Amino acid sequence: MVETMSQNILLTGGAGYIGSHTVLQLLLSGYKIVVIDNLDNSSAVAIKRVQELAGRHAHNLEFQQMDLRDKPALESLFSSKKFSAVIHFGGLKAVGESVQKPLKYYNNNLIGTITLLEVMAAHGCKKLVFSSSATVYGWPKEVPCTEESPLSAANPYGRTKLFTEDICRDLHQSDSEWKIILLRYFNPVGAHPSGYIGEDPRGIPNNLMPFVQQVAVGRRPALTVFGNDYLTKDGTGVRDYIHVVDLADGHVAALKKLADPSIGCEVYNLGTGKGTSVLEMVAAFEKVSGKKIPLKMAGRRPGDAETVYAATAKAERELNWKAKYGIEEMCRDQWNWASRNPYGYEGSPQKSACFLPCLPRNQVQGCLAQN
Ligand code: UD1
The residues near 242 (Cβ < 8 Å, ≥ 6 apart) are 185, 186, 187, 188, 189, 270, 271, 272, 323, 330
What element of type H or E holds 331? helix 327-340
pLDDT of residue 370: 40
| Ligand 1 site residues, Cβ closer than 6 angstroms | 95, 133, 135, 158, 187, 206-208, 211, 223-227, 237, 239, 278, 301, 303-304
Q: From ligand 1's centre to the CA of 301, what distance in Å?
A: 9
pLDDT of residue 5: 57
Decide if 157 is catalytic.
yes
The CA distance from 117 to 122, in Å, is 9
| For residue 361, pLDDT beyond 70 | no
| For residue 371, pLDDT beyond 50 | no
What element of type H or E holds 162? helix 156-174
pTM greater than the 0.75 cutoff: yes
pLDDT of residue 3: 55
Q: How large is the average pLDDT for residues 207-233? A: 98
Q: From ligand 1's centre to the CA of 207, what distance in Å?
A: 5
Q: Number of C-alpha atoms within 13 angstroms, CB side, residue 235? A: 9
* pLDDT band with cut points at 50, 70 and 90 for residue 356: very low
CA proximity to 127, closest of 245, 10, 249, 248: 10
> Of all residues in the chain, what percent carry a pLDDT higher than 70?
92
* Cα→Cα distances 332→22, 194, 225, 339, Å: 20, 11, 21, 10
pLDDT of residue 6: 72
The CA distance from 276 to 266, in Å, is 27
What element of type H or E holds 132? strand 127-133
Note the pLDDT tens digit of each residue in 44-91: 999 999 999 999 999 999 999 999 999 999 999 999 999 999 999 999
Range with the poorest average pLDDT among 1-15, 35-49, 333-347, 349-363: 349-363
Note the pLDDT tens digit of each residue in 20-36: 999 999 999 999 999 99
Note the pLDDT tens digit of each residue in 119-172: 999 999 999 999 999 999 999 999 999 999 999 999 999 999 999 999 999 999
Q: What is the dihedral angle through the alpha carbons of 207, 210, 215, 219, rounded to the nearest 10 degrees?
A: -110
**SS3 state of residue 29:** coil
* Cα→Cα distances 160→146, 178, 184, 292, 306, Å: 20, 20, 13, 38, 22
Strands 276-277, 187-189: pairing kind: unpaired
* Cα→Cα distances 13→28, 88, 169, 360, Å: 19, 7, 22, 30
Q: Output the CA torsion sign for 303, 305, 309, 311.
A: negative
| For residue 358, pLDDT beyond 80 | no
Note the pLDDT tens digit of each residue in 133-147: 999 999 999 999 999
| For residue 368, pLDDT beyond 90 | no
The CA distance from 230 to 305, in Å, is 9
- Residue whose CA is closest, atom 11 of ligand 1? 135
Q: From ligand 1's centre to the CA of 95, what distance in Å?
A: 9
Note the pLDDT tens digit of each residue in 228-275: 999 999 999 999 999 999 999 999 999 999 999 999 999 999 999 999
Angle, helices 208-216/327-340, rounded to nearest 10 degrees: 50
The residues near 283 (Cβ < 8 Å, ≥ 6 apart) are none
pLDDT of residue 161: 98
pLDDT of residue 366: 43
Q: How large is the average pLDDT for residues 311-331? A: 98
